[in-house]
Amino acid sequence: MRLIMHLRARDRVFDVPDELLDRVRKASSMSVLTGAGVSAESGIPTFRGAGGIWEKYDYRKLATAEGFREDPRLVWEWYQLRQIEMKKAQPNPAHRTISEMEQSVSDFSVLTQNIDGMHRRAGNKRIVELHGSIWRMRCIRDNTVFEIDDPVAEIPPLCQCGSVLRPDVVWFGEPLSPHVVDEASRVAGASDVMFVVGTSAIVYPAAALPIITKNSGGLVIEVNVEPTDVSSYADLSLFGPAGDILPAFWNTIVRSESFMKEHPFIPKR
């Protein structure tokens, strides 16, 4: 007999097999892969689709090393605008739920493609920033990295050595840091459950991470407003805003007696 649980998120009801919920409750290692969609409800635009950044801006000019070499001022004007926008934004219920998840599960990591720093602001500690951070700058001559809290005041910002600084983010055609790829792949391979939240999952190598989890025997649960490539192999796809779906799903997990038995020392703080 297959038991079905009804998950209620705002005005929707999802049927979730009880065996699947049980695997989530018993998971000792968990991860969340996030993309721009997790920050959409904080007012930070996504890249693709209607109203997305690439509809308005040319990625070749703004998100490639060639574009930066041609016009560092233009690229920095765009990043400064985004820094201002991201500084004003607040973590939303999806970010906050992901932070609660880290407090409840001892082996928990966030693998994020986002550069906005919202997971840290929501309270997560174990975060792998796959595409870098808008709150770091790097010298194009000696690679010295500078952390910042506020949007840049001068454009383009300069290093003490006199050279131009660039945003410490990963643009198209650039390799991700090998250390970051190794750590993300290790986490994905070790995850009993990976949630894939708010990403179109078309940009590699990040898009390969849930496939690693799946191939290692882990469960893949997708949360998105629309189907993606992940939907074809995910064990569960929950369609709707992450800020509704994720808190509703996590409450269903945490409220159960078996979760409390499996994770007797939670919450940590």
User: What's the Rg (C-alpha) of the chain?
Assistant: 19
Q: Choose the stretch contacting ligand BJW; rule: CB under 6 A; options: 7-15, 35-43, 158-166, 187-195.
A: 35-43
Query: Contacts with ligand BJW: how many residues (CB under 6 A)?
Result: 34
Q: 93 vs 218, which CB is nearer to ligand BJW?
A: 93
CB within 8 A of 99, min separation 6: which ones? 91, 119, 122, 123, 124
Candidates 199, 183, 49; CA nearest to 114 is 199
Q: State which of residues 35, 67, 117, 157 lies at the interface with ligand BJW (CB under 6 A).
A: 35
Q: Is residue 204 close enough to count as binding ligand BJW by CB under 6 A?
A: yes
Among 21, 33, 75, 242, binds ligand BJW (CB under 6 A): 242
Residue with CB nearest ligand BJW?
37
Can you read off the two tokens belonging to residue 66?
A: 């060639």
163, 202, 233, 260: residue in contact with ligand BJW (rule CB under 6 A): 202
**Binds ligand BJW by CB under 6 A, chosen from 29, 31, 133, 199:** 199
247 binding ligand BJW? (CB under 6 A): no
Q: Which of 121, 119, 39 is nearest to 82 (CA)?
A: 39
Taking CB under 6 A as the rule, does residue 172 contact ligand BJW? yes
Q: Who's near 46: CB < 8 A, 6+ residues apart?
A: 35, 36, 37, 40, 52, 53, 198
Convert 165-178 to b/e letters by CB count within 10 Å (16 or more is b). bbbbbbbeeeebbe
Dist. CA 108–CA 66, nearest whole Å: 37
Q: Give, as ranges, the residues between 83 and 112 that touch ligand BJW (CB under 6 A).
A: none
Output the CA–CA distances (angstroms, integers) from residue 113 to 14, 170, 203, 256, 259, in the order listed. Answer: 27, 10, 9, 31, 29
Q: Does 225 bind ligand BJW (CB under 6 A)?
A: yes
Shortest Cβ 248–ligand BJW spacing (Å): 13
Does 246 help bind ligand BJW (rule: CB under 6 A)?
A: no
**Which 108-147 positions form the footprint of ligand BJW (CB under 6 A)?**
113, 115, 131
CB atoms under 10 Å from CB of 62, counted, come to 19
Residue 178 interacting with ligand BJW (CB under 6 A): no
Check binding of 63 to ligand BJW (CB under 6 A).
yes
40 binds ligand BJW (CB under 6 A): yes
> Which CB sits closer to ligand BJW, 241 or 263?
241
Choose between 172 and 233: whose C-beta lies nearer to ligand BJW.
Answer: 172
Please count the residues of the chain.
269
Q: Which tokens sit at 141? A: 């001559």
- Active-site residue numbers? 131
CA angle 93, 24, 251 (to 5 degrees): 35
144 Ramachandran zone, left/alpha/beta (phi>0; psi -120 to 50)? beta
Q: Report, in Å, the least distance between residue 41 CB and ligand BJW.
A: 5
Which residues make up the interface to ligand BJW (CB under 6 A)? Answer: 35-37, 40-41, 46-49, 52, 63, 113, 115, 131, 169-175, 198-200, 202-204, 223-226, 228, 241-242
